[in-house]
Amino acid sequence: MADHGISDAGFVEAVAKHLNLSPTLLPADILGRLKAESCEATVVLTGREPFDEAKWKKVLLQILVETSTSKPMGKVSSKQVLAESVLEVQNLIKMLGKNESNKELLYKSLLKILLLVLTDPKVLTGEVVQFLHTLQKVKRVFGILVQAVVTTLFRIYEEQTTIPQPKSFKYLPFQRAIPFFPDYGIHITIAFPNATLTKSVQKECILLLQKMSGQCDKLNNPKEETVMDYNVGFDPKIWVQWLELFNLKPSRPVVDAVTETKPENNFLAKHRKLTQSEIHLWFFIKGTQQQYCDLLAKSVTDFCGKNQLSWILSSAYKKNDGKLFGGYFMDGISNAVDPMSLEREVLISGVSPQTGESNCEGGTFAFIQKFRFDIPIFSDSSIPVKENMIGRDGTYSETLANIEERAHIKRACKIRPEDGTNVEFLRQALPIVSSESHEEHGLFFAAFGMSIQRFTEIFQNMFGDRKTDFTQDLLLTHVQGDSGGFMYCPSADELQYVPAFTDGTIYSIIPFWMKFKSSNPLLFYNHIQYMYYMTTNQYAGLDPPSKRVLHLLSTTFQRWHSTWIHKFDVPRMPHLEKFLDEEKLKYLNTWSIPYRKGLSYKIMLGSVLTSNKDSPAADGNVYGTSDHFGTFQINPKELIVGVTERLSFGSGKEVMPYLLNSELDLSWDLALTEFGNMGHVVPGHQYILELGVNGMLEKLKGKLTNTLLTDEQKEFYKSAILAFKGVQLYMLRYSSLACKTACNLDPKTTKAEDRINLREIAKRMTHLALEKPPYSFHDAVQLIFSMHCCLHLVGQAVSVGRLDQLLQPYYQRDLENNVITREKAQDIIDSFFIKFDEHVVLNAYNIPYGHTTYGSTCVTGRGGPFGTGDSLNQWIQQVTLGGYTHDGKDAYNDITMMCLNACRRLPLNSPCVSLRLTPHTPLIYKEAAAKAILSGGAHPILYHDDRMVAGMLDALRQSFLKSNLAIPLDLEKVALDYCADGCYEPMFQGRTEFLFGYVFLLQAVMYTMNCGMNYQGAGPINLVGGAASYRSELPEEIKTFDCFKKIFLRHLRRLVQNLFGIILGSYGNSWKICPSPLLSCLIEGCVDSGRDMSNGGSRFHTITPMYVGFTNTVNSLYNVKEMVYGPNNTTSLKSFRMALINNWGVNMVEPFYDTVDVGVVQTEMWSQKYLAMREHALSLPKFGTQTANSEVNAIAEWLAENMNKIAYDVLYDSPLTEVYHGLQKKYHVQGKPFAFQILTGAGTFENYVSVGAGCGATPDGRLNGQPTASDCSPQPYAQDKPVPRTHLLDIVDSLKPYSERNLHLHIPGGCEVDLFIEEDFPMESLLEFIEAYVAGKTGSNLISITCVNKETLTNAENEPQKFDLVRNRMGGWSNFFVALFPEHKKQHLRRMYFGPHKDSQK
């Protein structure tokens, strides 16, 4: 046990003494409770340093000594001591302005109250809590310590007074008709004499409601598609009268509404565009049949006549498919209609009725208004003006990509800064049509929301300030409100005579979202469809996510949906110096770069990215909210908390700069910045699970005490300690946020289970930050995600690893001890998955950009950002499941299945899930994988474990043999324990650094055909092309195909030498500019050696030369063989080269052809010849399709073997070998020799567009600049050709060539094949393919399958919002098709499709 200066027993005795209590009266767990509840307060008091137990004890005892009374111990009751302390605080508050020293006394007195309450929680009476309420209102005066103490006291009090455990989630009892958007509607507004509801009218009204409900039940006929329903609403003042007649009190929301609808407060009464009328009772009759609406309306008018009430009836109905303004604008598209979304946006929820109060949960407020508008002026406007005014196109009602700030749909959306979602309400507008001309002359608008204040917020956004005449919303300049007002629509519990929504109720949604629907019941095109089927018991999977999870998903969908309209960018992160006080600034120039790196981590995690308005960062600014970085927020229903970075891989990153001006020249020379080290490995979360955060800190501190350390080792440990102190503070800040959020949830208006959940989160985060390693399953999941967040937030984009292997022991133990149920564990996994995908941007034009630098993404050791437009909505977040354990046993377990369930049921694109398959994989897991694939998420991707492990194990052994080193005994265990990195690269989990770069195979083809020159730039400037490789033979000198291949391999070797030269020459530079102290602690070897992973500290050192354009190259080589050297050759290599220089005749260039003068006719003749050559090239057999022959397949095997051989030759038998030996010597550690491991890969990831853009026309028929095939997939149809009709290739037979040994043994770094199948692909056929794949009869070492029809993608191009859940495999991950730029969409539309195996079709 660590020496904390005073024993635990002595400390507890001292606490009791200074509290004037007997030690026997203290709870047995008092030490743990004191630590858990007071840690943040004492951390603040001691300068916001991470928790130090010795310092904590010292501070607490000092406070107790200074504030203790002189009365004998045990002679004073706890309540008396508390009363005296409260009085002391009250007096100190009064004296605060007179003497600044009183603030410190106030802090200490409050902390004493906290300690006293912890010893005896029952002393915290209602009177004391009332005082705390007063104190909380002015807490901004006292700083963060007071906030921490007051928040904790509130929580303790609530624990004493709130006993019930969380109840199962159930739908709120709202009026069933609220989400129903009808074809026909009748609004009837009724006024009572003297604005008074009499008992007799109330009785008649009850009879009316019962009658109308009975009429609806009789008229509703699903077979005839007849739906009838109605809403009823009351003026809030009238509803109060209604309740009083039943001797009930109104709930707080209704009381607030009465105040807000008074003339002096009512927005409607103040603005010239809106009208507040005298309306006391309102009926909105809804239906699909006009005559039935009239029937119900007659019941209402009869009621009015009988009771001598004045009424106004307005009929409205949908015209032009529900579009308004002459058939141009469809309203209500973004409506929340499912019960989850309704609860979040529309319904009053969480209100616990007090004694004698009405239960308003499920109630809502309505804004109703009868508008007239100037149709002629609007109709005479041009189409662009109309679209600009509304914000949608007139044909499909889709949101415009670049939307005007004053467009109607943008002004109608207001973003919440706390979570980035829209403040919305449910809109229903029906046109009012002239009975004579049948022309539209107005509309009746009804909107539902959870408070009148919410309407006011949005109205101010639309209409402007109520005191001005300026209307912000362009569309609303053409409308004028004639009558209307605010109404209250009681819940079905309050008004028991109206039809209520119940679990499984089938509700209607507007046809916009149902225009397209998949025949595949597991696949949903848009989020409205998804929520509809999941909340009405119509999900074909029969096991929809829990209501809690659906609630969280609904919020996530809403956040995604807001990106159609709003752009969320992030500010630049200020320099480290901005967050240092004057004293620390003195040392800035003396601190090493690693030390500054660790300090920047600590400040980012513990302050900047976890700052909000209640707790700003050290520079006084707020960074954590959604209108900045969006990294510090919490949802009361969340089971897992934390937020990853908003910027996706393509957008770049924002981390804290720390380099000095004097270091910038070196930074430029090395092509590195603070943004450079990008992670791109799989951390060993097992290490943090074993030690815990505090345990890791203790280990690092212990290492630092070694007197034999070098200066580099000392700097590493200091940097790592600072980084983990940042992790501690990050978790404590979330503990505090959970406390404060629970505190701010008024018990009278929020659900007890939400407050309980937040309290549990606070305890969990404090425990994980300060106490022992996680013991429970829930704790383990949270710790993994917290570490994941911290790594990503500091710029280290990493994957998760083998989640099922990490979590199964915790789950199994909890299950055996009855701590958890399978259902709760599934909820935790589902919540965990959702957290990865909160920052999706659906509108590519609203993607944040401008956050990359010359030193970004240094995967080769030097910076150089990838194609940013290729990598949007990509966060490099992989979860690996199944396969073999490290000792060769089956690794499938309950967590494996839960994750596969999450893949199928949650329409996310991240995390990307990888499933390792073995010959022994149980059928249930293969079935679960097949269902997940058919659900359209393009995951799990399927790894062939035997092939992958064999290739990796061979690579590991070769690396040690060729380096003249002994082969470690555990290499097989290391290979068996592999997992997927951010795209699909196999990685030794928590054991390796990763260096890789692209080798462009097609460039070697170009150089072979063009004497070592790149002909992409051929023409008047570069003539035949720019020199790019060594000068090789002229085309006419290459007499045979074997000769062509030898020259090709020489150029390929030169390309690999270029890559390895950069990697070896730059190795270790990252330590000088951008070390990785946090991530290094989760990589084997770094902590023990005292070396950062950027400084050779990891156990393994993986290099992956990623060969790009494999399939196109195979096809190009085959075409050269056939067209030039084959028995039926059609051209010479020289002519072939000219065809390619001139882009297959599409772009004839000078000086080879005269394009403007006398040679135009001849030029056109050659152009046609080249175009004909291209058609022939495109028609030849292609690798990966059924047209491929043995010669094509032989070239693929030859290429794969030589790719791997060249990589080994360059490292072990070239001029670079001497450089490699120098690195081995430099980074050798006794007992841990240094060696690089080569894992040759073939793939493009998502960069098939940017890769193709840098490559000229190629012999396979590709035009200059066109995309390549993704990864090792079959070559897509030409991008310039029309989208062809779907032709299905046999999914088993077409992929058999990939099963050849060379393609997986020599490409152990991954040879992914991306397949597309149609949505009706039979489940049994997919299982048959998986069985054939596992048996080694077909396929590569990994395969991805996207399930989507080509017609679906075509429709999604034109009507994207209707397809906002359609996802495609990009090549290394999945993205939402609608979020892609046009060039990517074109490539996906031309990918090959695969159908069932012919034998299964029989």
**Parallel, antiparallel, or unpaired: how do β-strands 992-1000 and 1100-1108 relate?**
parallel
Hey, what amino acid is at 1401?
A: Q
Cβ(946)–Cβ(919) under 8 Å? yes
Helix (H) / strand (E) containing 274? none
How far is 723 from 1301, CA to CA, in rounded Å?
Answer: 45
Helix (H) / strand (E) containing 370? strand 364-373
586-590, 865-869, 1121-1125, 1245-1249, range with the lowest pLDDT: 865-869
How far is 1123 from 1126, CA to CA, in rounded Å?
Answer: 6
CA 1026 remoteness from chain centre? 43
First to last CA, the chain: 71
**What mean pLDDT is predicted for residues 289-308?**
96
Q: Measuring CA to CA, how many Å separate 337 from each of 179, 333, 693?
A: 5, 10, 43
Residue ranges in 978-1127 assigned as alpha helix (H)? 1001-1009, 1041-1066, 1069-1073, 1077-1080, 1086-1089, 1110-1120
How far is 792 from 653, CA to CA, in rounded Å?
Answer: 9
Closest alpha carbon to 1082 in 989, 996, 994: 989
How far is 913 from 881, CA to CA, in rounded Å?
Answer: 7
Q: How many residues does the chain have?
A: 1402
Q: Where residue 39 falls among pLDDT bands split at 50, 70, 90?
A: low
pLDDT for residue 829: 98
Q: Measuring CA to CA, how many Å separate 1301 from each of 358, 551, 950, 1205, 1378?
A: 73, 48, 10, 15, 38
**What mean pLDDT is predicted for residues 1290-1307?**
91
454: left (phi over 0), alpha (psi -120 to 50) or beta: alpha
How far is 79 from 73, CA to CA, in rounded Å?
Answer: 14
**What mean pLDDT is predicted for residues 1364-1379?**
94
Cβ(1119)–Cβ(1260) under 8 Å? yes
Cβ(836)–Cβ(873) under 8 Å? no
pLDDT for residue 330: 83
Helix (H) / strand (E) containing 755? helix 752-770
Cβ(81)–Cβ(22) under 8 Å? no
499-503, 697-701, 1324-1328, range with the lowest pLDDT: 499-503
How far is 174 from 185, CA to CA, in rounded Å?
Answer: 20
- For the cut 80, the answer to whether the pLDDT of residue 813 exceeds it is yes
Cβ(1221)–Cβ(1213) under 8 Å? no
- For the cut 50, the answer to whether the pLDDT of residue 1202 exceeds it is yes
212: left (phi over 0), alpha (psi -120 to 50) or beta: alpha
**DSSP single-letter state for residue 608:** I
- For the cut 70, the answer to whether the pLDDT of residue 965 exceeds it is yes
Task: Enter the tokens of residue 1358.
Answer: 């034109």
**Parallel, antiparallel, or unpaired: how do β-strands 440-449 and 986-988 relate?**
unpaired
| Residue 919, SS3 per DSSP | coil
Q: Which residue has the tokens 């028991």?
A: 496
- For the cut 70, the answer to whether the pLDDT of residue 1317 exceeds it is yes
**What mean pLDDT is predicted for residues 391-399?**
87
- Give me the phi and psi of 1397, to 5 degrees please: -60, 140
Q: Which residue has the higher pLDDT, 50 or 59?
A: 59
Residue 1126, C-beta contacts closer than 8 angstroms, at least 6 positions apart? none
pLDDT for residue 31: 54
- For the cut 50, the answer to whether the pLDDT of residue 73 exceeds it is no
pLDDT for residue 168: 45
Largest CA distance in the chain: 116
**DSSP single-letter state for residue 658:** -
Residue ranges in 772-871 assigned as alpha helix (H)? 777-793, 803-816, 822-835
Closest alpha carbon to 493 in 390, 310, 388, 349: 349
**What mean pLDDT is predicted for residues 171-180?**
89
DSSP code per residue over 479-494? EEEEEEEEEEE--TTT
Closest alpha carbon to 1258 in 997, 1007, 1059: 1007
pLDDT, mean over the chain: 88
Task: Enter the tokens of residue 1117.
Answer: 């080589």
Write a three-state SS string for 1074-1110: CCCHHHHCCCCCHHHHCCCHHHCCCCEEEEEEEEECH
Cβ(150)–Cβ(132) under 8 Å? yes
Tens digit of pLDDT for each residue in 1129-1149?
999 999 999 999 999 999 988
**What mean pLDDT is predicted for residues 404-409?**
90
Residue 669: exposure state from Cβ atoms within 10 A (0-12, 13-18, ≥19): exposed
pLDDT for residue 587: 95
150-154, 186-190, 440-444, 1062-1066, range with the lowest pLDDT: 150-154
Q: Where residue 1163 falls among pLDDT bands split at 50, 70, 90?
A: confident
Helix (H) / strand (E) containing 1237? strand 1236-1238
Hey, what amino acid is at 787?
A: M
Q: Where residue 963 falls among pLDDT bands split at 50, 70, 90?
A: very high
**Parallel, antiparallel, or unpaired: how do β-strands 1100-1108 and 1241-1242 relate?**
parallel
pLDDT for residue 133: 56
Residue 439 CB neighbours (<10 A): 11
Residue 228 CB neighbours (<10 A): 26
Residue 341 CB neighbours (<10 A): 26
Cβ(1090)–Cβ(710) under 8 Å? yes
**What mean pLDDT is predicted for residues 634-660?**
94
- For the cut 90, the answer to whether the pLDDT of residue 793 exceeds it is yes
pLDDT for residue 70: 41
Tens digit of pLDDT for each residue in 131-147?
665 565 444 444 445 55
| Residue 565, SS3 per DSSP | coil
- For the cut 50, the answer to whether the pLDDT of residue 125 exceeds it is yes
- For the cut 60, the answer to whether the pLDDT of residue 69 exceeds it is no
How far is 972 from 954, CA to CA, in rounded Å?
Answer: 10
Cβ(736)–Cβ(40) under 8 Å? yes
pLDDT for residue 21: 56
Q: Where residue 47 falls among pLDDT bands split at 50, 70, 90?
A: very low
pLDDT for residue 1237: 97
Task: Enter the tokens of residue 622.
Answer: 């707020």
pLDDT for residue 1162: 83
Task: Enter the tokens of residue 1195.
Answer: 């070239």
| Residue 562, SS3 per DSSP | helix
Tens digit of pLDDT for each residue in 1073-1092?
999 999 999 999 999 999 99
How far is 994 from 983, CA to CA, in rounded Å?
Answer: 13
Residue 1146: exposure state from Cβ atoms within 10 A (0-12, 13-18, ≥19): middle
pTM value surpassing 0.75 = yes
Residue 560, C-beta contacts closer than 8 angstroms, at least 6 positions apart? 527, 840, 841, 842, 1364
Helix (H) / strand (E) containing 1182? none
Hey, what amino acid is at 1262?
A: R
- Contacts by 122-129, CB closer than 8 A, 24 or more apart: 122/160, 123/78, 123/79, 123/82, 124/82, 124/153, 124/156, 124/157, 124/160, 125/79, 128/82, 128/86, 129/153, 129/154, 129/157
Cβ(602)–Cβ(576) under 8 Å? no
Q: What percent of the chain has pLDDT over 90?
A: 63
- Give me the phi and psi of 1346, to 5 degrees please: -100, 130
How far is 460 from 476, CA to CA, in rounded Å?
Answer: 13
Q: Measuring CA to CA, how many Å separate 814 from each of 774, 882, 1097?
A: 12, 21, 36
Q: Which residue has the higher pLDDT, 504 or 1303?
A: 1303
pLDDT for residue 1074: 95
pLDDT for residue 270: 80
- For the cut 70, the answer to whether the pLDDT of residue 505 exceeds it is yes
- For the cut 80, the answer to whether the pLDDT of residue 748 exceeds it is no
Closest alpha carbon to 1201 in 1067, 1336, 1308, 1063: 1308
**What mean pLDDT is predicted for residues 415-428?**
82
